[in-house]
Amino acid sequence: MRTDAVKQPWSKTKTGFLILSLVTAVLAIFSAVLMTEPGQSLNLPKAWIFAYHANKWLGIAVLLALLGSMWVMNHRHGFVRTRWMVLASGGVFVCIVAANFLLVALFPTYQYDANYVSVAEADEGLDDDEIVYVIDLNDEVRAYPQDHMWIPHIAGAEFGGEKVVMTFCALSNLPVVIGQDIGTGEETDIGVLIQVHNNLVMVERKSGELIQQITAETQFSGQQLKTYPNDMMTWGSFKQLYPDAEVFSYHFNRPLDAFLTAVFQVPIEKQFSEDHGAIFPTLDLKDTRLPNKEQVWGLKLGDEQAAFSRSFVEKNPVYEFEFAGQPMVLVHDQEHDIVALFDRTLNGKVVSVSEIDRRGNTPEGTLEQIPLHNGVFWMIWAHWFPETEVYS
């Protein structure tokens, strides 16, 4: 049977082929748009994204079945030339890859094989005013330069037997440190899925579970993951304070890295610019208590949240308060511009802090540090936590 097109009178079979082709094209294109950045540009609901992810293998199977049916019908009736079928099939496969596998290729993660170098080696490529995020846990210290995190998004390490993952969302300007154990009962494999409402969504690739970065909650099981403190500071301050520490280093050795840097440079600059709104129009910007692009220190404790503005921490270098029933002290190391939060309960008693340093050391003992969301944009914090208290 010839597969080249021949002129035929219009028929119900040809109408069915046309409808089948349109359905296949619409589903393929829609899935690709939904699961990539254009979907967020169109403000498509995140519930659609999560539903597609939960059923992605079914979606792939449906598309392949539809495409196979097109080939069978065309082989029998010769509606279009073979080369057009090949092009159409290529388009469907491109959409399948874009919807399900593209971000894995674009953003390689380093949960278990992150590369760490000495401060001296890192200093060759970092400027003193660059921002780094610092994990100080179990007497081990590592820094994660912001510019080295925005492509991989995820870099893991073990701190005295405790395995954690530094995650970073460039759209939110937010580092969050989570434990590698997310309750699946096995070693996890955490990767990048997409972003919703200008914040990173990660996927545990073995189980398919999703993790919203800013809330540190799993999507399907509703589990609240353990988070760990990190300190935001400049590279100049870090190398002075921790000369013997290790530093995460992304190689930037793929040709794709240069492409990504060029493509995302302008959008990221707009995200940080006060002259532009959010890159993706998915935020509720009605809360004007602070400027949209102001970078705040966010606190999430149970169902309650608070945001501390720069003006507040600068006016209150040591601030004792109670939040969600827990006594705390906010500390601003003015010399190095480091903000940290500590629990004022020590040995079962609430202490009043007369002297304290950036690591929580007091005359009474060392206080336990509480995780903060360092430097997150107000517009994003207020969207995710509209009931947040504001200290300004």
- The values of phi and psi at residue 100, to 5°, are -125, -25
364: closest CA among 329, 322, 388, 339? 329
Rounded Cα gap, residues 331 and 222, in angstroms? 32
Label residue 2 by pLDDT band (50, 70, 90).
Answer: very low
pLDDT tens, residue by residue, 239-271: 999 999 999 999 999 999 999 999 889 999 999
pLDDT at residue 175 is higher than 50? yes
pLDDT tens for residues 62-121?
Answer: 999 999 999 999 999 999 999 999 999 999 999 999 999 998 889 999 999 999 999 999
CATH architecture under which domain 295-391 falls: 3-layer Sandwich (2.102)
pLDDT for residue 366: 95
pLDDT score at 182: 85
Q: Is the pLDDT of residue 53 over 60?
A: yes
- The pTM for the full model equals 0.92
User: What is the model's pLDDT at position 105?
Assistant: 87
pLDDT digits (tens, 9 = 90+) for 296-330: 999 999 999 999 999 999 999 999 999 999 999 99
Q: What is the pLDDT of residues 327-357, one digit of tens each?
A: 999 999 999 999 999 999 999 999 999 899 9
pLDDT at 6 over 80: no
Burial class (CB within 10 angstroms; exposed 0-12, middle 13-18, buried 19+) of 187: exposed
CA distance 131 to 219: 30
**If DSSP codes are grouped into helix, strand and coil, which group holds residue 34?**
helix
* Cβ contacts of 221-226, under 8 Å, gap ≥ 24: 221/183, 223/182, 223/183, 225/178, 225/179, 225/182, 226/178, 226/179, 226/181
Average pLDDT, the chain: 94
Give the CB-side neighbour count of residue 277, counting CA atoms within 13 A. Answer: 8
Q: Over 70: is that where the pLDDT of 3 sits? A: no
Distance CA 168, CA 246 (A): 18
pLDDT, position 282:
95
pLDDT at residue number 67: 97
- Pairing mode, strands 349-350 and 345-346: antiparallel
Q: Is the pLDDT of residue 1 over 50?
A: no
Q: With cut-offs at 50, 70 and 90, classify the pLDDT of residue 10.
A: low
- Whole-number percent of the chain with pLDDT over 70: 97
Is 184's pLDDT higher than 90? no
